[in-house]
Amino acid sequence: MNKVRIYQIISVFMLTISAQSVYADVLDCHTFEAQNTLSFNTQSAYVLDKDRVVTFAICGEDAGSGRYTYGMYASIWESGEKVVEQRLDAGIVDGPPTLKITKNKITATYTYYDRYAESSKDAVSTQSKVWTYKPKAHILALNDKSATLTQQVKLYSNALSAREPFKALDILDQNFTSTLDPARNPRFYAHNYGDVLNAGHQKALALYKKKDLVGAAKISRQLLERMDKYTIYTRKDEASSLWAFQPWINPTSKNYILLPKSPENAQYLNDLAFFLAESKQADDLKLAIFIYEQLKRHYRSRTVLYLNLGDAYWDLNALEPFENQRPWYAPYKKYQTLSSSKSIPKRVLQRIEK
């Protein structure tokens, strides 16, 4: 959240077309918690500003006496791709709310019914709530500083700034998932996992620079183990701006974790694998090799990746010899092809010949 990520900007005209093109994918109220027959299900799309479209599904369920329990779900779309899908509110009302869209603000006006009111006069009241779309955070934040989600966004950002990736993940787990379903918000969580990866990388890098190789490897493994639990997506969720990675600790899983495609995220993963390999422990070397092999699929021309992969295979062979195999040979040869002859370390040339 503490990094600005702006997606491709398109015109209002094109966004209006995009709103129509995604209209069929607007939320289906039947996929949510309503268990009885829906009394109303309204869906609509609006141009939020010159760059974005917002779509709504307002789901109503008969609650008796002409009143309804409803849920309102908003989705933000950029360049035809869904950025976030979020539940905004629920309650006992006399009908669907009215919406007002102005720039990045969404105002919803409700007629609430308080079943516990002492008199019928006090039972019904009209209230308005305002949400502001936060492009940096990819959420709709309630304009109320005391609101739980608003507070947690700040705490989450502070945890990232303090290089506390595990605290940031705790906040995501405990305070965001009820409002932002991970299965329906792959892009939102992918970008936040990227931020967590950055924070963890900074923490491990600081230890490595202090020559604490054991500490750097430990943080790297803990981070990858913790992020492994978020492998709930499939390769179908891999978009033009997202990478799908197999789970690092449980590679037999058929699910994937998503991360934004960027040279920075490739660097973070490469470095975490390097910190693991520097521990010279067999399990850490195997995990490093697995990460390097996955990075190859996304960054085939990354020269240092092949050097690191060859080194990791060589070091693992010293601990657990490969019988009649030289897995370091292919990555070293690829590194040799991509590098200038003057920059190739002597160890690479020597090991290729063995």
Residues 56 and 138 in one domain: yes
**Are residues 113 and 171 both part of a single domain?**
no
Find the domain containing 11 and state its range: 1-143
Let me know whether 280 and 198 are in one domain: yes
Taking the C-alpha atoms of residue 56 and residue 163, their distance in angstroms, rounded to an integer, is 36
At residue 33, φ and ψ (nearest 5 deg) are: -85, -10
Please give the structure tokens belonging to residue 22.
């995604």
Could you tell me if 295 and 148 lie in one domain?
yes
pLDDT in tens, 44-64: 677 766 677 777 777 766 666
- Asked if residue 294 has pLDDT above 50, the reply is yes
Q: Which tens digits make up the pLDDT trace of 301-349?
A: 888 999 999 999 999 999 999 887 899 999 999 999 888 767 889 999 9
C-alpha closest to that of 227 among 301, 166, 292, 309? 166
Residue 32's alpha-carbon distances to 22, 29, 74, in angstroms, are: 19, 6, 13
207 and 120 inside one domain: no
pLDDT tens digits, 199-256: 999 999 999 999 999 999 999 999 999 988 887 888 777 777 788 888 887 777 788 8
Rg (CA), the chain: 25
Are 128 and 231 members of one domain?
no
- The residue from 270, 299, 328 where one domain ends is 299
Indicate if 19 and 129 belong to the same structural domain: yes
Q: For residue 319, is it within any domain?
A: no
188 belongs to a structural domain: yes
209 is a domain residue:
yes
Domain end (from 259, 277, 299): 299
CB 269 within 8 A of CB 257: no
pLDDT confidence of 82, banded at 50, 70, 90? confident
Bridge pairing between strands 98-102 and 105-113: antiparallel
User: Which pLDDT band holds residue 264 (cuts at 50, 70, 90)?
Assistant: very high
Same domain? For 149 and 228 the reply is yes
Kindly report the average pLDDT of the chain as a whole number: 77
For residues 154 and 116, membership in a common domain is answered with no
Give domain status of residue 86, yes or no. yes
Is the pTM value of this prediction over 0.85? no
* pLDDT tens column, 84-143: 888 776 566 666 667 777 767 777 777 766 655 566 666 667 777 777 777 766 677 766
| Strand (E) or helix (H) holding 59 | strand 52-64
Q: What is the pLDDT of residues 35-49, one digit of tens each?
A: 445 555 666 677 766
Least confident interval from 28-37, 166-175, 197-206? 28-37
The answer to whether residue 317 sits within a structural domain is: no
- The DSSP secondary structure of 243-272, one letter per residue, reads EEE--SS-TT-S-BEEEE--HHHHHHHHHH
Both tokens of 58, joined, read 């307002």
Per-residue pLDDT at 188? 82
Q: Is the pLDDT of residue 174 over 80?
A: yes
Distance, CA of 179 to CA of 154 (rounded, Å): 16
| Residue 328 in domain | no
Burial class of residue 181, CB neighbours in 10 A (0-12, 13-18, 19+) = middle
- Segment 257-272 mean pLDDT: 91
Provide the residue type at 239 as one letter: A
Name the more confident of 259 and 9: 259
Task: Please say which residue of 128, 143, 158 terminates a domain.
Answer: 143
Same domain for 184 and 79, yes or no, is no
The tally of domains found in the chain comes to: 2
Q: What is the arithmetic mean of pLDDT over 69-95?
A: 71
153 and 136 in one domain?
Answer: no
Is the Cα dihedral 323, 327, 328, 329 positive or negative? Answer: positive
Q: Is 307 part of a structural domain of the chain?
A: no
Confidence band for 163, pLDDT divided at 50, 70 and 90: very high
Position 102 in a domain: yes
Are residues 82 and 202 part of one domain?
no
